[in-house]
Amino acid sequence: MVGSVPILRQTCDFGTGASPRNGWDLPLRADLRRSRGLQFHFRCADTTPVSYFAVYLQSGNGWYRFEFTPRGNGRWETILLEKRDSQVEGTPAGWGRIECLRVSAWRRSSGKTAFDCAAFTARPATGAILVVRGLGNAGLPAAETKAAVRHAADIDRLLADHGIGATLVEEPDVDSALLAGAPARYLLSR
């Protein structure tokens, strides 16, 4: 704990024969449909043995994956993750059905380190416009899924760059309650 904020600490031993990934899973029930993404506090004194860090959010039979690279100076820093920057693994059930949070360090070289995480919070949406990332649940070919993810991110970024607030959501998240009050929807699908 730092003050009254609980900290999650992960020690990483990337010795010979060790797993290429060190991390933890935290069961979680979250509805992130109306969020821009996540933010949290992160600290790692030595990132030398780490290639990159990743945050995963499990939803149904898939995951939303974010990669990030901290400064690694031993000081706390705030990590901001935008939904538009997430990659899709498997067939997630949508941002409204988050079931697990995973944070991992991926091996670059042999060595030991540790990292700390604290204060995970959803970043509030900035507008009522919805950008619907239409991945479908029928199992799109990998190239089509990557294209849908990329195009939705481009639209979301373009709107943000022009000061237009938008919220990226997945096709399974779309229902009448979510659409209520949304003046515009941009659908990317098959």
Structure tokens of 151?
């195009």
30 and 85 housed in the same domain:
yes
25 and 112 housed in the same domain:
yes
Q: What is the pLDDT of residue 94?
A: 92
109 and 152 housed in the same domain:
no
146 and 65 housed in the same domain:
no
How high does pLDDT run on average in the chain? 87
Last residue of a domain, one of 74, 91, 124: 124
Residue 24 lies in a domain: yes
Q: Is the pLDDT of residue 190 over 70?
A: no
Q: What is the pLDDT of residue 139?
A: 64
90 and 62 housed in the same domain:
yes
Q: Is the pLDDT of residue 187 over 60?
A: no
Residue 1 lies in a domain: no
Structure tokens of 125?
């949406």
Q: What CATH number is given to the structural domain containing 42? A: 2.60.120.260
Q: Is the pLDDT of residue 142 over 60?
A: yes
Last residue of a domain, one of 92, 124, 156: 124
Q: Is the pLDDT of residue 174 over 90?
A: no
The length of the chain is: 190
44 and 114 housed in the same domain:
yes
Tell me which residue has tokens 């997430």: 86
User: What pTM value is reported for the model?
Assistant: 0.85
116 and 134 housed in the same domain:
no
Whole domain around residue 22: which residue ranges? 7-124
Please choose, from the candidates 175, 68, 54, 182, the residue with its C-alpha nearest in 3D space to the C-alpha of residue 129: 182
**Euclidean distance between CA atoms 185 and 129, whole angstroms:** 6
98 and 22 housed in the same domain:
yes
Number of folded domains that form the chain: 2
Last residue of a domain, one of 124, 143, 173: 124
101 and 133 housed in the same domain:
no
12-58 pLDDT per residue, tens = 999 877 789 999 999 999 999 989 999 999 999 899 999 999 999 99
Structure tokens of 49?
């043995």
Please choose, from the candidates 104, 108, 75, 111, the residue with its C-alpha nearest in 3D space to the C-alpha of residue 10: 104
100 CB-near residues (< 8 Å, 6+ apart): 25, 26, 27, 28, 56, 57, 58
